[in-house]
Copies of this chain bind each other. A is one copy, B any other.
Amino acid sequence: MTTQITQTEPSQIDRMFQALADPSRRAMVERLSRGPASVKELASPIAMALPSAVKHLKVLEDGGIVHSTKSGRVRTYSMNPTALDFIGQWVQQREQALNIAFDKLAQAMAELPEEDEEA
């Protein structure tokens, strides 16, 4: 029996998580969260060659996390302000669900018939 894995086109959300699964790209997002920057300004602090930086920025653009505008010869990158909202909300919902599950477990344990400690 062969294992069949359905390969579908990655969704925007898949690409967003994928884009953040790299320390250089996360460093770029950290920098861009403090304000717009050029490729050079993004590449220098992480000692990255400009062509590599451009490739990583493309992945971040494809993930909908950043966008760029060109003025003359300089391309400036900026965060999409609501880009990380989905991830933040998704994580928060999981944490809320976990807390509810823990509370239910604690309640179920509290309702167990107590062993008589005096016996």
Q: How far is the CA of A13 from the CA of B101 in the complex (A)?
A: 25
Each complex incorporates copies of this chain amounting to: 2
Interface string of A82-119 (1 = CB under 8 A from B): 00110110111111011011101100000000000000
Q: Is A3 an interface residue (CB 8 A)?
A: yes
Minimum CB distance partner of A31 in chain B? B97
Q: How far is the CA of A52 from the CA of B4 in the complex (A)?
A: 7
Residues of B within 8 A of A88 (CB): 88, 91-92, 95
Minimum CB distance partner of A35 in chain B? B101
Smallest CB separation, A93 vs chain B (Å)? 8
Residues of B within 8 A of A87 (CB): 87, 91
Q: Is A29 an interface residue (CB 8 A)?
A: yes
Q: Is A69 an interface residue (CB 8 A)?
A: no
Contacts A4-B52, A17-B20, A21-B14; A33 near B97 (Cβ below 8 A): yes
